[in-house]
Amino acid sequence: MDRRNTHQKELILKAVSGKGIHLTAEEIFQSVRQEDPRVGLATIYRNLNLFTQQGLIQKIEGPGWSCYDGNPVPHDHFHCVRCGQVVDYPDEYNPDMDNAAGQKTGGKILFHSTTYEGICESCLADENQAASG
Amino acid sequence: MDRRNTHQKELILKAVSGKGIHLTAEEIFQSVRQEDPRVGLATIYRNLNLFTQQGLIQKIEGPGWSCYDGNPVPHDHFHCVRCGQVVDYPDEYNPDMDNAAGQKTGGKILFHSTTYEGICESCLADENQAASG
DNA sequence: TTCTTTGCAAAATATTTGCACTGGT
DNA sequence: ACCAGTGCAAATATTTTGCAAAGAA
């Protein structure tokens, strides 16, 4: 199937791609709508799926949340359970883990993903302020 | 709120708890129904949420799948993208990772979770058989 | 008896799909 | 002109919720 470049794809890709960009489908929808209010939600999903398949972006998920990461290179994440923000965790992806896992399980490992759940620095500050105030 | 023990809770807990048990909500529903067909799906969800909150089980999720793990102790998982099966990954949970992440991000880490995505041994065998057959 | 828990059905959420139409090539 | 891509609305899948009835304590 040959692919065509469209206005919509450009807008969506521009909204979602980039290092450190972590947006939900709904956020991407809102963002794209600001540029062109005629774009439909189905188009957002269709293209996010397409971009994910093509390896231009990746979808990351955890307990009760999910978002699209504009950086397709696998890396770890930190998710704040309070504000919901997702940030890249500053560590190198370790391919040795995949090799080791392949040998241990006897299967073929494609990749792994590590997600830290916790409370981010700024939310911690908010909580301390609320406790003392 | 004081908790009451019910027949339903017993059935659900019996179906889901245990090391190496990884079942989806639907699978748990089916399993419980075999014992008592009058149990409703809402009751399944209500109690799975309750047990997760109480720390009796944990919910684990990845791209496009999720299930309940009968072992509440955090540990890594391997998910087969072909058959969908989830198995425990035989490695110790490393709390040092959480300490390191806490220091790096300035936040408070509750826990981390690593999931390997790949093709399990038995699915690899199937694929090789199909290719040669 | 009191008040949590349940079953059911409806609602809320999130995502996908059918189809006629638009628009890239 | 051809057919991939789109917008819309309906369909699907999953999980939650309102409420009257059931049943633990």
Give chain B residues 3-22 with Cβ within 7 A of strand C.
3-4, 6, 8-9
Rounded to whole angstroms, the Cα distance separating A21 from A68 reads 8
Q: What is the pLDDT of residues A55-92, one digit of tens each?
A: 999 999 988 899 999 999 999 999 999 899 999 988 88
Contact status of B62 with chain A (Cβ, < 8 Å): yes
The reported pTM is: 0.90
The stretch B58-80 carries a mean pLDDT of 93
Contact A105 B117 (CB under 8 A): no
User: From the Cβ of B49, is strand D under 7 Å away?
Assistant: yes
Q: How confident is the model at residue B37 (pLDDT cuts 50, 70, 90)?
A: very high
Q: What band does B64 get if pLDDT is binned at 50, 70 and 90? A: confident
Neighbour-count burial for A91-128, b at 16+ CB within 10 Å, e otherwise: eeeeeebbeebbeebebbbeebbbbbbbbbeebbeeee
B58 C-beta less than 7 Å away from strand C: no
**pLDDT tens-place string over residues A15-45:** 999 999 999 999 999 999 999 999 999 999 9
Q: Which residue has the higher pLDDT, A63 or B113?
A: B113
Q: Show residues of chain A in contact with B62, CB under 8 Å.
A: 61, 113
Reply yes or no on whether the pLDDT at A1 is more than 80.
Answer: no
